[in-house]
Structure 1
Amino acid sequence: MSTPITPLSDTLAVAPQLGPEDMAALKAAGYRSVIINRPDYEGGESQPTSADVIKAGEQLGLTVVYQPVVSGAMTPEDVRTFREHLDTLPSPVLAYCRSGTRCTHLYNAAKQESSKS
């Protein structure tokens, strides 16, 4: 896998767009869960679908969830859902979107929400 992975904490890393063919490398790297934050077809017909990524990941024993978040339109509900995923999914978790930036913003917002609680 040549996709760059950016660790944000001991339990979460982010990456740009991944595909079904990347799931084995994630599993080999020790990840246990994947969060897909990129909506299907945001990048056109050539973008791998969440269903294909979920199927490939689950066949390898990964937990994969689809939480599409529209770029530039993150909502408080998106942040709450992302935080819930981080609290409940087996870790370490890898989240991806188009570039990794959206996932990073979700993580930072979720951390701020957690510190308010």
Structure 2
Amino acid sequence: MDLRQLTPALAVSPQLSLSDIPELSKAGFRVLINNRPDDEIGPDIDHEAMGQAAKAHGMRYHYLPFTPGQITPRLIADFSEAMAGRGPHIAYCRSGHRCTVLWALTQAGKRPEAEILETATQAGYDLEPIRPLIASLASKR
């Protein structure tokens, strides 16, 4: 596993396997957020398999598929809602980038833009291309 801590309550990761779920639960994660659409993976790790594994290990599970280039207000709101519950939380997609984008967009207007971008950079994700979107959301909050 390649966990990258964005905040004390949220880590992001590239694709997880079923065998990672027990380890994540033992490590104290309480919420699993899957941002990877099923059409990118096989049935052995689709949202149903991952959801069943998470629940079997006492974790809450959210399937919020994020297709690249298709950020919607509903997706941002759903990610924010998933993060509102008791954590810590782990979110994953192909590389962790889409999860980091969603986190950044939920933080727009709550944290300084520079802090959001730096947090992402320290985790290995370049969010400079979405800086205008972060600024736009921040101005509306």
Q: If the length of structure 1 is used for normalisation, what is the TM-score?
A: 0.88
Aligned pairs, number: 113
Uncovered stretches (5+) of structure 2, i.e. residues with no partner: 112-137
Distance 2:40 2:110 in 1: 29
User: Does the aligned pair in 1 maintain the 2:11–2:90 contact within 8 Å?
Assistant: yes
Runs of 4+ in 1 over 2 A off after TM superposition: 113-117
Structure with greater Cα Rg? 2
**8 Å Cα contact 1:41/1:47 also seen in 2:** no
Give me the whole-angstrom Cα distance separating, in 2, the residues matched to 1:46 and 1:55. Answer: 13
Match of 2:81 in 1: 84
Which consecutive residues of structure 1, in runs of 5 or more, have no partner in the other structure? none
Pairs within 5 Å for 1:1-117: 3-43=1-41, 45=42, 48-87=45-84, 89-114=85-110, 116=138, 117=141
Asked if the contact 1:40/1:47 (under 8 Å) is kept, the reply is no
Q: Taking structure 2 as the reference length, what is the TM-score of the superposition?
A: 0.74
Q: Report deviation, 1:46.
A: 6.3
| Distance in 1 separating the partners of 2:34 and 2:26 | 19
Deviations along 1:47-74, one digit per CA (max 9) or x if unpaired, are 6111111111111111111111111221
Report the RMSD for the aligned CA atoms in angstroms. 1.6
Moved more, 31-40 or 78-87: 78-87
In terms of fraction of residues, the more helix-rich structure is 2
Contact 2:43 2:49 in 1 (8 A): no
The percentage of aligned residue pairs carrying the same residue is 34
CA distance in 2, matches of 1:71, 1:47: 22
